[in-house]
């Protein structure tokens, strides 16, 4: 098993250095540990290493893990694709979802969020490079969706998420992240102060420096924390 504590320290140092280079406060950036395919024991080790926010892609696996770790104070983020017939489990078990890509999903999450839980934090997934193989709203669709989602109860629209096409070099990597930042600025100009978005979920192991330079607030890192995945995956 990889040394999760050493890996976590290394990733945190990298995040902190990137923030300093960008003139930002590292405390304004959340390190989200991507724990898909990892065991509950590995998540416990990560919590012991100082992590408290975890991202999951596979719903059934995630719910089992959440149920096994109720003794820990963890913020659970759903970061995988979501079908409309699976929204209830996300609404009932998670604190965040980063992959809302249509109004129907937001409406179902709103209707299915338990009354005794805080509003579900959501990010709109943006297809920032207009790739046919990726889900996500176009920038124009995001503007329309924002207006409709803001009125829904039990959910809180927090920001935008994107997974750009792979690029080499930080300057090239920054371009799509800059576009996402500009889109959030454009949306915020249309919103009241209490409604303004504050979250940019963007950047992973290979491009976190570029994302932080363009004001990412959530960085998603998996392998660099937990080590290589086993061959068998869900």
Q: pLDDT class for 234, splitting at 50, 70, 90?
A: very low
From the list 61, 43, 60, the residue with the least C-alpha distance to 52 is 43
Per-residue pLDDT tens over the stretch 62-98:
999 999 999 999 999 999 999 999 999 999 999 999 9
Domains of the chain are 4-226 (3.20.20.10)
| Average pLDDT over all residues of the chain | 95
Q: pLDDT class for 233, splitting at 50, 70, 90?
A: very low
Specify the pLDDT at position 229.
79
Per-residue pLDDT tens over the stretch 150-189:
999 999 999 999 999 999 999 999 999 999 999 999 999 9
> In the structure encoding, which two tokens stand for residue 88, read together?
């209830």
Helix-helix angle 139-149:103-112, to 10 degrees: 30
Per-residue pLDDT tens over the stretch 115-150:
999 999 999 999 999 998 899 999 999 999 999 999
Quick check: 44 and 70 in contact, CB under 8 A? no
Q: How far is CA 111 from CA 46, 60, 77, 119, 124, in A?
A: 33, 21, 19, 11, 18
pTM, entire model = 0.95
CA–centroid distance for 230 within its chain? 23
Q: Where are the beta strands (DSSP E) in the chain?
A: 30-34, 53-56, 75-78, 96-100, 120-125, 155-161, 199-201, 218-221
- Return the residue matching tokens 């409604």: 195
> In the structure encoding, which two tokens stand for residue 23, read together?
């003139």
């Amino acid at each position: 098993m990889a040394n999760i504590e050493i890996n976590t320290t290394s990733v945190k140092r990298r995040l902190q250095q990137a923030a300093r280079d960008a003139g930002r406060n590292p405390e304004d950036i959340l390190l989200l540990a991507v724990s898909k395919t990892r065991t509950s024991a590995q998540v416990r080790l990560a919590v012991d290493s100082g992590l408290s926010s975890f991202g999951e892609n596979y719903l059934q696996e995630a719910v089992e893990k959440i149920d096994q770790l109720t003794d820990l104070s963890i913020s659970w983020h759903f970061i995988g694709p979501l079908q409309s017939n699976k929204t209830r489990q996300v609404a009932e078990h998670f604190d965040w979802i980063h992959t809302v890509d249509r109004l129907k999903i937001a409406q179902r999450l709103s209707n299915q969020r338990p009354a005794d839980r805080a509003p579900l934090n959501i990010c709109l997934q943006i297809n920032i490079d207009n790739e046919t193989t990726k889900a996500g709203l176009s920038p124009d669709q995001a503007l329309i969706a924002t207006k409709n989602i803001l009125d829904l109860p039990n959910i809180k629209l927090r920001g935008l998420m994107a997974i750009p096409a792979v690029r080499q070099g930080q300057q090239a990597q920054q371009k799509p992240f800059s576009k996402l930042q500009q889109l959030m600025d454009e949306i915020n100009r249309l919103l009241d102060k209490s409604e303004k978005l504050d979250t940019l979920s963007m950047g992973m192991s290979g491009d976190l420096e570029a994302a932080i330079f363009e004001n990412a607030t959530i960085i998603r890192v998996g392998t660099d924390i937990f080590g290589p995945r086993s061959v068998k995956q869900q």
